[in-house]
Amino acid sequence: MESTSTAARKVKKSFAFFDLQAQFASIRLEILQAVESVLESQHFIMGQQVELFEKEAGAYVGSPHAVGCASGTDALYLALCAQGVGPGDEVITTPFTFVATAGSIARTEATPVFVDIDPDTFNIATDLIEPAVTEKTRAILPVHLFGLAADLRPIQQIADNYSLAVIEDAAQAIGATYYGQKVGSIGDFGCFSFFPSKNLGCAGDGGMVTARERAMADRLSLLRAHGTRKKYHSEIIGMNSRLDALQAAILRVKLRYLDTWIQARQDRAALYAKLFDQYDLTSFITSPSAPSHCGHVYNQFVIRCDDRDALRDYLQEQGVPTAIYYPEPLHLQPAFAYLGYAKGSMPQSEKACLNSLALPIYPELPADDQERVVSTIAEFYKSQVHHTRGNGTHE
Ligand SMILES: Cc1ncc(COP(=O)(O)O)c(C=O)c1O
């Protein structure tokens, strides 16, 4: 027979890790109107919507130039190409990120050079960058992981000392600030993703590169459209990586809400921190770090915890969804085996893959769901403490 607690567990309904329906419901009419107006115009490639979005998004980020493109992955590749990175070059980056970061470097036929992370922020450890610089290094590619800015001042200092470009992977971090300045406007390039789960997400794939210099922005515009300024006349070899007019029209609507949504994410992060205190969890889990000079935008809310896999299984059993970003560091993945990194070579990244856990966060996440996440985490650790004490009595 089932115990009462097992039966009680079964009736607990699970809820969403991430819910885009709630956001859509709040802006449905405006989105439908934006889509309809593009359909009425039958103008799907480039044109006014894309130009306006580039202007508005560039102004939002605080960058003088913004060039829409087909995805965040292409944004990185385009920035690297615009900078002239290619075979024989090296680009320094982090192995604790989404594959596109290093994959884009490899696509240019340059070599990704991995540097371990700072365990407090999950971002590239700036003191390890300079020892990794060689005469082949052309750029540093920091990632503002989960929505927290990498420590760009020391990075820029090293870049200046060695004449390197700084290409910010801001795919997860639109709106995040570093000493009051928005990420993507600080380095030579800022690369953004509008994948639906990002803080500013479109209805499919989309991306954008911001550039500090006009010459670079011109080059990005050429590269994303087969090197053409004039129809059927290619100045350089490029590719097809345009942002669709439909996506641009949708993004223009959503950009107007971005700051409100970021605030809602920050409020939810603060509530998690409060609940961790209330439930006495601070000795078992570590909240994400948010240094005072950084405005964290919490694209993900990632804790560090003991017994991560057991906790995750327990939460799943209780209908509480979580995710792991990332289960495997890039330097140990088969795609990068050719680089020859050994297990143990990036200890902090490897550890983060074992003890980090993303909890649900999105602007409309109900407080009740957050309370349920935290109370269930507390149940898990309480049962663990009892278990350990129980074992202890065997002596
Ligand atoms: C850190 C990072 N870089 C790059 C990308 C690539 O963006 P996209 O999925 O739009 O190609 C992502 C998206 O998941 C990302 O999280």
Q: Identify the domain boundary among 223, 255, 287.
A: 255
Domain that holds residue 86: 22-115+123-255
- In angstroms, the CA 209 to CA 269 distance is 28
d(CA 177, CA 72): 19
Give the pLDDT confidence of 112-123 residue by residue, as tens digits.
Answer: 999 999 999 999
> Does any domain span residue 11?
no
Q: Let me know if 94 is exposed, middle or buried by CB neighbors in 10 A (0-12, 13-18, 19+).
A: buried
Q: What percent of the chain has pLDDT over 70?
A: 94
pLDDT of residue 369: 97
330 C-alpha to center of ligand 1: Å?
Answer: 14
Q: Report the alpha-carbon distance of residue 57 to residue 65 in Å, rounded.
A: 9
Pairing between β-strand 65-69 and β-strand 207-211 as defined by DSSP bridges: antiparallel
What domain count does the chain have? 2
pLDDT per residue rounded down to tens, the chain (395 residues): 444 444 444 557 788 999 999 999 999 999 999 999 999 999 999 999 999 999 999 999 999 999 999 999 999 999 999 999 999 999 999 999 999 999 999 999 999 999 999 999 999 999 999 999 999 999 999 999 999 999 999 999 999 999 999 999 999 999 999 999 999 999 999 999 999 999 999 999 999 999 999 999 999 999 999 999 999 999 999 999 999 999 999 999 999 999 999 999 999 999 999 999 999 999 999 999 899 999 999 999 999 998 999 999 999 999 999 999 999 999 999 999 999 999 999 999 999 999 999 999 999 999 999 999 999 999 999 988 766 544 433 32
Q: Tell me the CA–centroid distance for residue 69 and ligand 1, in Å.
A: 13
**What angle do the packed helices 72-82 and 100-107 form, to 10 degrees?**
40
Are 377 and 244 part of one and the same domain?
Answer: no
Same domain, 93 and 142: yes
At 236 the pLDDT is 96
In this structure, the answer to whether residues 104 and 159 fall within a common structural domain is yes
Q: Is 223 part of a structural domain of the chain?
A: yes
pTM (global) more than 0.75: yes
239, 255, 271 — which closes off a domain? 255
> Based on the domain organization, do 352 and 278 belong to the same domain?
yes
Lining residues, ligand 1, CB within 6 Å: 71-73, 97-98, 100-101, 143, 169, 171-172, 193, 195, 205, 207
In a domain, 3, yes or no: no
CA 259 to chain centre: 17
Q: Do the Cβ atoms of 160 and 187 come closer than 8 Å?
A: no
Q: Are 307 and 384 in contact (CB under 8 A)?
A: yes
**Cα(242)–Cα(80) distance, integer angstroms:** 17
Q: Supply the pLDDT for residue 388.
A: 59
Examine the domain organization and report whether 236 and 298 are in the same domain. Answer: no
CA 228 / ligand 1 centre spacing (Å): 26
Which domain CATH number covers 225? 3.40.640.10
- CB within 8 Å of 9: residues ≥ 6 apart: 317, 318
Do 267 and 249 sit in the same domain of this protein? no
Q: Alpha-carbon distance 328 to 147, whole Å?
A: 20
CA–CA gap between residue 176 and residue 165 (Å, rounded): 21
| Atom from ligand 1 closest to the CA of residue 197 | 14
Domain end among 221, 255, 289: 255
| Mutation probe of ligand 1 site: the residue of 172, 202, 239 with most atoms within 8 A of C-beta | 172
Tokens standing for residue 42: 């039958």
Nearest atom (ligand 1) to Cα of 74: 11
Cβ atoms of 119 and 127 closer than 8 Å: no
User: What integer pLDDT is reported at residue 8 of this predicted model?
Assistant: 47
